[in-house]
Amino acid sequence: MTDLDLLKKIKIENDIEARNELWNKYQGKVGSSYFTNGIFFREIGLTFEDYKQDAFFAFIDCIEYVNLGKMEASNSNFGTSFYYYLLKIKNKNQREVAKMGIPIYLSQLDVKNEIDESSSGLKKVFNSKTAVEFSQELENKTVREIVQDYINEQTPVKKQILQMYLEDVSVREISESLKIKYMKVYKFIRASKDVLTAIYSNAIA
């Protein structure tokens, strides 16, 4: 059965078996997409199982998006559209990491960044630990864990600021929603980015 035949059964007849057949047909593309970007995904802590789950949701979204008439007219297959949706998974993760100012791009993963230990933000992190203890804690942590640990250490209000920021809420909207001065929110987010960049740099040094 062609992709178009399967999609007709899925979209018109809500055929679960056809959906599973199409999903199984594209497992190779899911695997190759993950391993092509494996260095990045492993660095941020996205396992293949997690990626596969994200890919399945992308697969469902892609089925909803596909226009059967246009697909038939152009004689295209489902894989072309599905590849675009798989690419969106990587782009979404890159945006989330970049929003916190952490320099984790494929061209930079092998670079050993130097850190400035005189940073006031980094001094606070080291405050209750020796450098050795701190390095041991970071040794096996992924970027997601580093960011989440930092957020968890904040006061409830600051935690809310960072969580909203990561959900693409603008600084102005955060300020208005929480009734906190704009510059106060802006400076806290900027300081958090500096601290997280320093922590990440120390983790890969």
Q: Residues 29-54: pLDDT tens digits? A: 899 888 888 878 877 778 888 899 99
Same domain, 81 and 149: no
Same domain, 111 and 200: yes
Same domain, 74 and 16: yes
Predicted confidence (pLDDT) per residue in 126-174, tens digit: 344 343 344 444 445 667 777 888 888 889 999 999 888 888 888 889 9
Residue finishing a domain among 45, 73, 99: 99
Q: How far is CA 181 from CA 34, 87, 154, in A?
A: 42, 37, 18
Same domain, 95 and 119: no
Same domain, 87 and 46: yes
Instruction: Report the number of distinct structural domains present in the chain.
Output: 2
Same domain, 65 and 132: no
Range of the domain at 87: 3-99
Same domain, 135 and 66: no
Same domain, 9 and 84: yes
Single-letter residue type at 46: L
pLDDT of residue 135: 43
Residue finishing a domain among 99, 127, 148: 99
pLDDT of residue 196: 80
pLDDT of residue 18: 94
**Residue of 1, 64, 3 lying closest to 29 (CA atoms):** 3
Same domain, 196 and 112: yes
**Residue of 2, 140, 129, 14 lying closest to 78 (CA atoms):** 2
Residue finishing a domain among 36, 68, 99: 99
Mean pLDDT of all residues in 105-133: 37
Coil/strand/helix, residue 112: coil
Q: 122 falls in which pLDDT band (50, 70, 90)?
A: very low
pTM comes to 0.56
Same domain, 115 and 180: yes
Same domain, 63 and 111: no
Q: Is the pLDDT of residue 83 over 80?
A: yes
pLDDT of residue 203: 55
The H helix count followed by the E strand count for the chain is 13, 0
